Amino acid sequence: MSDRKPMTQSEARGVRYARELEGHLGWLDTFSGTALGVLAVASGIYTYLGVSSLLDDNGAMSAFAAIAYSVAVSVGIFVFWSYMLRLFPAVRTTRARMGLLGAMGLGSLAIVAMSSWLNAAALAGSAAVEQHLAKTVQEYQGSLERAHEIALSAQGLERDVARARQSFEDLSEQEATGNLSGLAGRGAVFRVLRQKSSELSGLEAQIATQTPLVNAAFVEGNQILSRMRALTVEPGPVEARSVEFSEQAVRLAGLITQLRQLSVASLVERAAQDLSASVVLPELDGNSAENRTAQGATITSVLEVLAQRATTLERAAQSVLAMPPPTETTYTPISSADAVILYARNFVPSWAGAIAIDLLPAVLVFILAITQTAIRSGREGAAVEDTMTLAELRAALAAVRDVEEAMHGGAQDAAAPTETRQDKKPDTAAHVTPIKST
């Protein structure tokens, strides 16, 4: 008689619960491999598209290389997650689980490195390149507006020059009427004042000639910017649009440089420095020593005023020169894969989808591990014979019968040769040869 205790009600419920979970796992296992294969193939297809965007050559060898890489990625993903789906739920010790968990983390990083970023490039590569074009347009627009602002500020120096010229002309008119030195006419003082007013008049005219050039360059730059903006949103392959975009960017960079060269601030600064340093003093033409003394004193006062005007004009020019120059902007063509990485924050959904298609089996691994733990917990404390199903019991009985039949048949085979030897034993009494007596 067996002394095994009967199974309790809670143990029976646990066994039924474990059997139910095993039934679900059996049904799910019928298509889990196929689903994993579909995910691996889908990832391989997007990986192929991403690799193709990185290869410059479109020949047969490049296509073969892209296909080989994508096939290797698909096989690697399928094999890796097949290992995890089988082994991780089966291990029971914490040490083994932590080891496999670390291996799964390293494998996931490898999958992201070799596949996910290429999948993201295939999903959002064109949009990322367009984002790069749009950002470049903004940078060029900022540089153009800054260069135009500096050029306009330099053109504004024309008013300062005109004001200084007008002051010298007014002083010369006063000298002509005798209200300045007390000597009416066009003498030495008058000629000094006219000399400087003529210099400033020439500088003013030179500045005025730059205004149409500045306006024309700014208008043309805005036209180029409009075309560049259109290229960022036009339909069609982004690679072809990038070529024309690059050409327009070169033109715009030239216009920005032209605007910087049209600034007259440095010219005004040099003219202001020469204004007081290069004074040609005429010979005093007064009739008497008293008149010449008066002329000399007036010219000294004029030179002081001239120095003040020159200082004011020089400071105005230096304030324009001190303005921060436009940022140096250069358009650099970029591949779709690099653009996706560079503007990753703008394409989080695409990155999420690219990574999810590769790492989704990790969720299945954890689901299987949790389910297997629940199954083992349900069977805990129950004997083997208590957990057997009717089909398992029938299979066990059939196996026992097969073993018994095999053992019985072996016993008969072992006994049969013995009986045969006994039947064939020679009869010594019948074969005794009689001895004849002599």
Contact 132, 339 (CB under 8 A): yes
More confident residue, 429 or 121: 121
Contact 316, 268 (CB under 8 A): yes
Question: Whole-number mean pLDDT of the chain?
Answer: 79
Does the pTM surpass 0.85? The reply is: no
Domains of the chain: 9-126+346-387 (no CATH), 127-334 (1.20.1260)
Asked if the model's pLDDT at residue 287 lies above 60, the reply is no
Contact 281, 299 (CB under 8 A): yes
Contact 335, 290 (CB under 8 A): no
| Residue among 168, 191, 169, 189 nearest 180 (CA) | 189
Q: pLDDT-derived band of residue 191, with 50, 70 and 90 as boundaries?
A: confident
146-180 pLDDT, tens digit each: 999 999 888 888 888 888 888 777 777 766 666 55
Structure tokens at 5: 């205790």
**Tokens 């739920």 sit at which residue?**
89
Q: What is the mean pLDDT of residues 421-435?
A: 44
Q: pLDDT-derived band of residue 8, with 50, 70 and 90 as boundaries?
A: low
Rounded-to-integer distance, Cα 69 and Cα 44, Å = 8
Rounded-to-integer distance, Cα 80 and Cα 72, Å = 12
Asked if the model's pLDDT at residue 36 lies above 50, the reply is yes
